[in-house]
Amino acid sequence: GEWSRAETCPSGQRLVSFRLRVEAPRGVWDDTAANAMAAICSGGTLLEGRGGPQGTWGNWSLPCPPHGGVCGLRTRVERPQRAGDDTGLNDADLYCCSS
């Protein structure tokens, strides 16, 4: 794949919530899994990655508490399937810290 342009919160703001656009498994067809991510900054700015159009947006994560923001992440990536259909990124967790 190719990197899209960087999306950043305005100065002094933090990421506080996110959601993924994920394509459901397609059986024998090519699966893509996570295709895009959107995030909300503490001041309300919406950031949206320029991912593929496949899939549907999931629910927004619970927001970080006041004065908190995203400070860590964990990803779920499918192992190579050898002769099977690889999807790559399947899910993500973002973790909040208080300032």
CATH code of the domain in which 62 resides: 2.100.10.20
Q: What are the per-10-residue average pLDDT scores of the chain (99 residues)?
A: 84 93 72 83 92 84 91 81 69 85
Residue 7 located in a structural domain: no
Query: How far, in whole angstroms, is CA 86 from its chain's centroid?
Result: 18
Residue 82 located in a structural domain: yes
Residue 84: per-residue pLDDT:
65
Structure tokens at 95: 């973790």
Residue 8 located in a structural domain: no
Residue 22: per-residue pLDDT:
83
Residue 57 located in a structural domain: yes
**What is the total count of domains within the chain?**
1
Which amino acid belongs to residue 58?
G
Residue 89 located in a structural domain: yes
Residue 27: per-residue pLDDT:
65
55-58 long-range contacts, Cβ below 8 Å, gap at least 24? 55/21, 55/22, 55/23, 55/24, 56/21, 56/22, 56/23, 56/24, 57/19, 57/20, 57/21, 58/19, 58/20, 58/21, 58/22
Residue 50 located in a structural domain: yes
Could you tell me the residue range of the domain that residue 53 belongs to? 15-98
